[in-house]
Amino acid sequence: MSKYEIKQHFVTFYSPGTFVAEDTTKPIKSWSVVEACQMARSIKERYKATPYAFQFSTRGRAKKDLDSKIIKQSPYYFLGGKVETLAQVKARATEKDRILVSNMEGNGYKRIVTNGNSYTWTQPLGDNDVVLDWKP
């Protein structure tokens, strides 16, 4: 039996922002990728930015806890995008990619994903992250 008396599932959508990602978190019945993809179509952030990814979480609260905490979290699910390795980025790089290459090398990023659902957004792609076949 779990020590958490109350559990609730959530999905957090990430959209391009000015300096960091905008995010919107909504409750969801289960970690359903199909349901989250349907929900993503209704998310609009500032400047009409739409999600490039989402992530599930489960929050729980034990009897003695004042507030809930994340007890389980999924990898990121990217809503489409182009995946490139460091070698691929270097092979096609122009002068404007100099900072991207430097960031990938300096931070040990093996792969990136670039998404253009609303605005172009590039970020590291983790080993367990998933890129979905997505049509905006």
CA distance 33 to 78: 11
User: How many residues in the chain?
Assistant: 136
pLDDT one-digit tens code per residue, 94-118: 999 999 999 999 999 999 999 999 9
Does the pLDDT value for residue 1 go beyond 70?
Answer: no
Best CA proximity match to 17, nearest among 55, 46, 53, 58: 46
CA distance 6 to 96: 49
Judging by beta carbons within 10 Å of its beta carbon (0-12, 13-18, 19+), is residue 29 exposed, middle or buried? exposed
CA distance 118 to 6: 37
pLDDT one-digit tens code per residue, 41-95: 999 999 999 999 999 999 999 888 888 999 999 999 999 999 999 999 999 989 9
Sequence spans of domains, the chain: 6-79, 82-132
CA distance 68 to 64: 10
Mean pLDDT of 33-41: 97
* Cα of 40 vs its chain's centroid, Å: 12
